Amino acid sequence: MDTIASYKGVVMKYQIFSIIVAIIMGLSGMPVGAQSSMNGANDIDNQPFTFTTFRDIAKQYSDSVVNISTTTVVKPSGMLQPRNRTPFDEFFGDDFFRYFSEPQTRPRTLQSLGSGVIIDTDGYILTNNHVVKDVDEVTVTLLNGDTYQATVIGTDSETDIGLIKIDPKSAVNPIPMGDSDIIIAGDWVMAIGNPFGFGHTVTVGVVSATRRSTVMPRDELPYQDFIQTDASINPGNSGGPLLDIHGRLIGINTVIASRTGQSAGIGFAIPINMVKPLLKDLKEKGSVTRGWLGVTIQSITPDLAEGLNLSSTEGAIIAEVVGDGPAAEAGIEAGDVILEFDGMKIRDSGHLSQVVASTPVDKKVKLEFLRNGKKKSADIKIGLRPGSDLQLHNTSGVSLDFGMTVQNISPEIARQLRLDSTAGVLISDVEAGGAAEKAGLTRGDIILELNRKPLKNVEDYKDAVSDLKSDEGVVLYVQRGKSRIFIGLRPASK
């Protein structure tokens, strides 16, 4: 009886509180719901959080979220191809990836589900790279049931962002972009998506943490700055929006941490501020061109800060400088501590990597740094990161398509791969169905020679390619693990 009386007391207090809130809102001339906050951009941040806030957001923006289904035809290989499990598997399940680990004898059609968010009235849709990359068909379904065949406009595997487009038959309702930099732990958020095929499912939670940078292995996802949330997201939510209490897009739901493959209350979204600088490249070129300083950097630990007589751990310390890179030309030295980049204060090494990568190539910026305890500055011209948007031409000016991306081997990569030197070039990506894949090359292979010419770096690689004829086959000397093999490769000319 005491328990029931106590329960009734709590209910009564809640009802009284609701009445008081309604009276206050009425006296202020403001509706109880948050719908009015969607109409005024000037005072949107001043609108209150009420009992109907999430209902109003769902009502206004559910039709801005799309369900994505993809179809992939897997050609038979007849070979056993093992793979390591990654957090991305949690979104798609074992069936989608099983063809990587079973011998194939006949073509298979694989289907998968994901989500996306409409970002403008032209029909551009943001989603994840792992939802739409290397698929044969992308089908988009809107809330009203309209179905479209979408075109993949661009993908970026290093942030896991994909951009697709439909040609809508009627007006669509894009979600406005917010500012993910102002989000802090404890803020309320809403996720909308397609979990387990149940389209336009709404879940609510809070921001559990920000700036999560070790969710995925760095060699799989180099640029990470995730928003962590306990809003329930499951397989199929991948690519859907994370919204703030004003209905603004602050993140793209990407991955979950779970031992069961289902929501365990730990989900991660790509901050929208990381996505914004990529959109122009994705729309115009289909890929992302990234800036490059030509340095190896590391974050400052408390012990390093004490040893270097630094007042805080903010900034990034230069561990190594590439001899012919932009930083070397600007006079940057190992041991310099970068404090500001182009007027932006640097938090840590991950932050510096992200801002440099999103800076246009050839832009001149100012670096503020400490050297031996003294503040200094330098102007630096941002270079093109090796392996980023690399175009290869022979002496006739014909573009040669190898279907792969290569990059220099930094001392850090050499240590990770336990290499004796940094000579050669590392294959960082292989295009599905391209010349490199057909020849048997894989990501992680190291090209030591091209037509028996030793390669020290990407520049040597480009020089060797420039001597090729448009229809000439090449012989690569490749290190794969502890073994070295020769592989014949014939580029496709453009």
Distances (CA, A) of 20 to 14, 17, 49, 50, 56: 10, 5, 15, 12, 21
Give CA–CA dist 88/268, Å, rounded: 11
Token representation of residue 166: 């439909």
CB contact at 8 A, 266 and 142: no
CB 458, CB 425: distance < 8 Å:
yes
Tokens 């609510």 belong to 204
The residue annotated as part of the active site, out of 56, 160, 244, 460, is: 160
Q: What is the DSSP string of 220-287?
A: T-S---EEEE-S---TT-TT-EEE-TTS-EEEEEEEE--SSSS--S-EEEEEHHHHGGGHHHHHHHSS
Class of residue 371 by CB neighbours under 10 A (exposed 0-12, middle 13-18, buried 19+): middle
Task: Report the 10 Å Cβ neighbour count for 73.
Answer: 11
Are 215 and 224 in contact by the 8 Å Cβ rule? The answer is yes
361: amino acid identity, one letter: V
Residue 208 annotated as catalytic: no
What's the CA gap between 128 and 115, in Å, rounded?
Answer: 8
DSSP secondary structure of 352-413: HHHHHHTSPTT-EEEEEEEETTEEEEEEEE-EEPTTSS---B-TT--BEE-SEEEEE--HHH
Size (the chain), residues: 494
200 counts as catalytic: no
**Which structure tokens are listed for 452?**
């028996």
Would you call 393 a catalytic residue per the annotation?
no
Residue ranges of alpha helices (H) inside 110-241 are 129-132
Query: Residues 238, 349, 358, 428: which is the catalytic one?
Result: 238
Contact 398, 494 (CB under 8 A): yes
SS3 content of the chain, % helix, strand, coil (to 5): 25, 30, 45
Task: Cite the active site residues.
Answer: 130, 160, 238
